[in-house]
Amino acid sequence: MSGATFLHFIDNSFVPSATEKYFDKRSPVDGSLLGSIAEGGAAEVDSAVRAARAALQGSWGRMSLAQRTEMLYAVAREIDRRFDDFLDAEVADTGKPRSVASHVDIPRGAANFRVFADAVKNVPGRSLRRSHAATQ
């Protein structure tokens, strides 16, 4: 993993920081360089918020409840399928023992997506849309 560069993922694309600044990510175990991380700031937050709002007005907003919950379940299945990849990344990032991360962190990540999918489809409620001006 040494020498890897990690960019932001905004609006379905990997993008560098507007400031072109990066910071080193080092192993908490031995201090070795794991990679270089693009710094995020106001420009990245603004881009991500614009992309999220556009998705809500576009394809995501047009999806049915069943389609949205299926997408959450699909994320959980993909975490399960790529369990070892997620485990390697978690251990490198946090320095946790594999035995802990493999029994707690990675299963919990997949479980969270399943819980949210179940909650959305099984908990009665309603969603109120607010205008952009109301959130400022």
Reply yes or no on whether the pLDDT at 128 is more than 60. no
Percent of the chain with pLDDT over 90: 77
Q: Which long-range contacts (CB under 8 A, 24 or more apart) does 132-136 make?
A: 132/53
pLDDT of residue 38: 97
Q: What is the pLDDT of residues 4-41, one digit of tens each?
A: 999 999 999 999 999 999 999 999 989 999 999 999 99
Distance, in Å, from the CA atom of 4 to the CA atom of 33, rounded to the nearest integer, reads 9
Distance, in Å, from the CA atom of 127 to the CA atom of 129, rounded to the nearest integer, reads 6
pLDDT band of residue 122 (cuts 50, 70, 90) is: confident
Task: Give Cα 22 to chain centroid, integer Å.
Answer: 19
Q: What is the pLDDT of residues 25-82, one digit of tens each?
A: 999 989 999 999 999 999 999 999 999 999 999 988 899 888 999 999 999 999 999 9
Which distant-in-sequence residues (6+ apart) come within 8 Å of 132 by Cβ? 53
